Structure 1
Amino acid sequence: MTYLTQPLHRALRQSPGRPFTVYGERTHTARETHDVVSRIAGALAGLGVRADDRVGLLSPNTDRFCQIVLGIAWADAVVVPLNTRWSAGENAYALDEADVTVLFVDDAFLPIVDRLRERAPVLRTIVHCGDEPTPDGLVPLAELLTAAPVEDAHRNGHAMAGIFYTGGTTGFPQGVVLGHRQLVMAAMGTLMAQTRVPHGGACVLVAPAFHLAGFGSWIAAMLTNATVVPLPAFDPVGVLRAVERHRAKQIMLVPTMIQLLVDHPDAGTFDVSSLELLTYGASPISEALLDRARTAFPAARFAQAYGMTELSPTTTILGDEDHDDPALRRSAGRAAPYARIRIVGETDQELPSGEVGEIVVAGDHVMAGYWKKPAETAAAIRNGWLHTGDAGYLDERGYLFVVDRLKDMIISGGENVYSTEVENVIAKHPAVSQVAVIGLPDDEWGERVHAVVTLLPGTTLTAAELREFCRQAIAGHKCPRSLEIVERLPMSAAGKILKRDLRNSRAVPAEKGQIQG
């Protein structure tokens, strides 16, 4: 059997006095964590939570987030981590659909508790897990910790571990059902696919843990005996300070976080020499940013993880050695030990190496399905293969190259233009800080390539200058025909640029004159 609480049992047996989590000035050893977790489980039983019941959690990354997730599993229940960036209505939808009767909420979300109750009538108990005074009508976490500890349920590895909602920023929310075995196996396989991974030390957990990128990195940290240092929000100085203070060995970041770290004027003043592994993923990274990141963190080995929530979340790994190859560093790596990958055409026929099609994946890490959505599940998983919606190709050695989301591919003048290819070129321009390329309706071309960028301070850029720059690297039909400079790009909580938001709000040609950064 494989389940989320196993690393805690191991830590309790092998190193009970080792710090398991450090949050601000709070440190919990493995022994103390075991006590908290077993009491949360006992309290949940007292609240009527039974096997397979769903328990919600609305909290940023904290030590209590980790303890509550383990406590829910210990109680034989299923966690439903809610998106801290969603509206009350979106989260209420998830609570109602998943039949969540008990919900843990942190301080920041106390103002929406009444709205959640109104819109999710199935809720019967809300537990306050923050540091502020507990409002009337809510149960303080401290009260739960007075419950008698109970034994771990030791859930079967194939049992549900969580329902992870995705798509609220790009469409109707869907609950991805993942089991204990899927989550732990994906974390183990991600570690196994690398030639060297750190053990012990500290892991700074800054990617949102309600999202699978952060959740998976937390599991990997526990498996490698790391002390988990959760950070409730991303702040460049806060991250760098945490790495320095705790002599952190590992961290998982999304490319937008990396961008903000390397761009920060104080980045070079912190000692980050302890960092041995920097894993990145969740969205594409430009080669220009990757070069700057390796310079900023010279002691760290880099690994890229490609996947999605439906894949627990990782399917391919690009190891540190592969980053030294100019051709391979543009890839997403090769299949993790548990994964199978194919590239298929419109009729699901397998395509030969080098030909672009849809990426489909099989393996035990594939989700069980979407909660209460059989039609959507059947559309996503066909003949045992999960259709990712990503376009890509495999080379002759099995390296996967992701060229775009299928829905983000631009058809201009009858030619396919992959937005990520154009973004990689634009990102190398010395004035560009961040970039998103989208297709917009065009009377002449069907769709035109439109670039939305943020600029580095003190720089300028025109559409003509950008087109000329791009022509040096890519074909003319791929070069942006319009340019827009913005102060910031819309981001999801997982650090992904929200291209749908960009497309929906832009329907006219952008300014083509010189725009100040």
Structure 2
Amino acid sequence: MYLTQSLHRAVRQSPDVPFTVFGARTLTSRQTYDAVARLAGGLLGLGVRKDDRVGLLSLNTDRFCQVTLATAWADAAIVPLNTRWSAAEHAYALTDAGTAVLFVDDPFLPMVPELRAKVPGLRTVVHCGEAPTPDGLVPLADLLAAEPVDDVHRQGDEMAGIFYTGGTTGVPKGVMLSHRQLHITALGTLLHTKLPRGGTSVLAAPAFHLAGFAFWIVGMLADMTTVPVALFDPVGILRTVQEHRAKQTLLVPAMIQAVVSHPEAGNYDLSSLELLAYGASPISETLLTRARAAFPSAKFLQVYGMTELSPSTTLLLDADHDDPVLRRSVGQAAPYALVRIVDEKGNEVPPGTVGEIVAKGDHVMLGYWNKPEETAAAVRDGWMHTGDVGTMDERGYVYVVDRLKDMIVSGGENVYSTEVENVVAKHPAVAQVAVIGLPDDRWGERVHAVVTLAPGATLTVEELQAFCRQEIAGYKCPRSLEVVAQFPMSGAGKILKRELRAAAARS
């Protein structure tokens, strides 16, 4: 299996059916095939060769889809960048991946000078938006005018892309995933959940995230027309579902909350939606009830996993959502996965016992790019150690209890506390810092900073946010701040974050 395979099938079986619809631009399978073949020719003309990495900094658009397919067509690997990152974060990933060619969408053009200054190996920037192309950048039209080339059919265990995730050491890690791994999860999900075929799939979750990227693959395999949504907006989602009679979409719970809570939600016909998939966190009973009322024809599917698992390893099916106990779980192992709960020594524990969630199967990543030691620590004897603490019942339903790595999930985005702490600690008013996640009605969790101050110093949350935005994305910046006289400490001199969370819960 390989990324471009669905396009080959579509152009033979349904050449005049829309492959993508983005705004006023509709491209059939035949037109997309031609565009991808020409973009691949253009990439070769830019010097891209086998196994090179091609960066992509773009919102959800049809061009995102075409560039990704063209990169594989040209025998290279895609590196999708988080559109919410700062220029410094992009520069790190581009340098780490050794990226020489970068595609940039309109909103990110102001970053280009800084990226060029910070990434010496970046030789070509291609503008893939609609605005006038600035001097020094290559317009996408130049690549689309290139002679089309044959697909090399990059496939199997060859790397499809490097997908960067937040790092517990303060820097992102590049997760290497193959064509086979991405399709194992997509095909397994299609088989196990009996997802709809044909019609329209709304790509609402960011495609740079593997959840959105994988959902796009599922839609292609199911012969669906992809309708990318560039920026999340509740009314935009409602309108898109109604106008395109969409059959499926994927949203994180924070997105679902925003959609069903919008005062105009009841004004749209959402009866076409047959599947609403979600991930990042379980859904509350109240939100589930409201979402089912808003999308009366949709089946609900919760997907649990991580980028390193391509990205899913358990599935909570629609029928499971009817059970008040099971809907607190993240489901059972997907058909392609083995899932266990293990102790500190890697031994499987009895049902109901708390331990670390580990997974094994053909969906486990190739490894972390340029990080063999971290790869070896994460994947042991073929088992991916997720860093999540949970339990499993007698029927194999998995319940996530906590996170070993102190990861915060805010609005569907993974935020690592260590990364935020490294930035907050640089503020001259801060003597010591600990960052934790606190429950939040809107975001699921919010980033909360607890600090002790330098003598005579003062600090407001607004001042801290402005400081942090210079180095990290806005969603990683603390949304709340607490100043304490001292931290609860362990005997080893470590801050006891569990006590900080408990104190916040009592207040």
Give the shorter-chain TM-score range. Answer: 0.7 to 0.9
Amino acid at match of 2:272: S
Give the superposition deviation at 1:406: 2.3
Residues 1:41 and 1:185: Cα distance change in structure 2 (over 3 Å): same
Partner residue of 2:500? none
Structure 1 gap segments, 5+ residues each: 410-418, 424-435, 439-446, 457-484
* Range moving further from structure 2, 126-135 or 400-409: 400-409
Tell me if structure 2 keeps the 8 A contact 1:79–1:163.
yes
Give the superposition deviation at 1:359: 0.2
Question: Equivalent of 2:331, from 333, 339, 345?
Answer: 333
Partner residue of 2:105? 106
- Per-residue CA deviation, residues 20-49 of structure 1 (Å, 9 max, x unaligned), is 000000000000000000000011111111
Using structure 2 for the length normalisation, give the TM-score. Answer: 0.83
The answer on 1:10 being equivalent to 2:15 is no
Identity %: 64
Instruction: Provide the C-alpha distance between the structure 2 equivalents of 1:169 and 1:501, rounded to a whole number of angstroms.
Output: 17
The answer on 1:179 being equivalent to 2:203 is no
Partner residue of 1:374? 372
Tell me if structure 1 keeps the 8 A contact 2:391–2:399.
yes
Give the superposition deviation at 1:512: 9.2
Tell me if structure 2 keeps the 8 A contact 1:282–1:306.
yes
- Per-residue CA deviation, residues 169-225 of structure 1 (Å, 9 max, x unaligned), is 98311100000000011111111121x311111111010000001001000000111
Instruction: Provide the C-alpha distance between the structure 1 equivalents of 2:371 and 2:168, rounded to a whole number of angstroms.
Output: 18
Tell me if structure 1 keeps the 8 A contact 2:164–2:175.
yes
The answer on 1:67 being equivalent to 2:43 is no
> Residue 193 of structure 1: SS of its match in structure 2?
helix
Amino acid at match of 2:233: D
- Per-residue CA deviation, residues 350-409 of structure 1 (Å, 9 max, x unaligned), is 101111110011111001111001111111111211110111111111111112212449
Listed as ranges, the matches of 1:221-300 within 5 Å are 221-300=219-298
Partner residue of 1:204? 202
The answer on 1:306 being equivalent to 2:282 is no
Number of residue pairs matched by the alignment = 444
Partner residue of 2:482? 506
Using structure 1 for the length normalisation, give the TM-score. Answer: 0.81
Amino acid at match of 1:141: L
Amino acid at match of 1:30: S
Residues 1:331 and 1:452: Cα distance change in structure 2 (over 3 Å): closer
Give the superposition deviation at 1:285: 2.3
Give the superposition deviation at 1:168: 6.0
Alpha-carbon RMSD across the aligned residues, in angstroms, is 3.0
Instruction: Provide the C-alpha distance between the structure 2 equivalents of 1:94 and 1:18, rounded to a whole number of angstroms.
Output: 37
Instruction: Provide the C-alpha distance between the structure 2 equivalents of 1:352 and 1:497, rounded to a whole number of angstroms.
Output: 42
> Residue 71 of structure 2: SS of its match in structure 1?
helix
Partner residue of 1:215? 213
Listed as ranges, the matches of 1:114-513 within 5 Å are 114-167=113-166, 171-194=170-193, 196-408=194-406, 453-454=440-441, 501=478, 505-508=481-484
* Range moving further from structure 2, 196-205 or 163-172: 163-172
Give the superposition deviation at 1:144: 0.6
Residues 1:226 and 1:501: Cα distance change in structure 2 (over 3 Å): same
Residues 1:283 and 1:498: Cα distance change in structure 2 (over 3 Å): farther
Give the superposition deviation at 1:294: 1.1
> Residue 114 of structure 2: SS of its match in structure 1?
helix
Structure 2 gap segments, 5+ residues each: 418-433, 444-460, 485-502
Instruction: Provide the C-alpha distance between the structure 2 equivalents of 1:154 and 1:182, rounded to a whole number of angstroms.
Output: 16
Tell me if structure 1 keeps the 8 A contact 2:282–2:302.
no
Instruction: Provide the C-alpha distance between the structure 1 equivalents of 2:139 and 2:323, rounded to a whole number of angstroms.
Output: 54
Amino acid at match of 2:338: R
Tell me if structure 2 keeps the 8 A contact 1:86–1:168.
no
Partner residue of 2:91? 92
Partner residue of 1:413? none
Instruction: Provide the C-alpha distance between the structure 1 equivalents of 2:504 and 2:390, rounded to a whole number of angstroms.
Output: 30
Tell me if structure 2 keeps the 8 A contact 1:170–1:500.
no
Tell me if structure 2 keeps the 8 A contact 1:90–1:168.
no
Instruction: Provide the C-alpha distance between the structure 1 equivalents of 2:506 and 2:339, rounded to a whole number of angstroms.
Output: 42
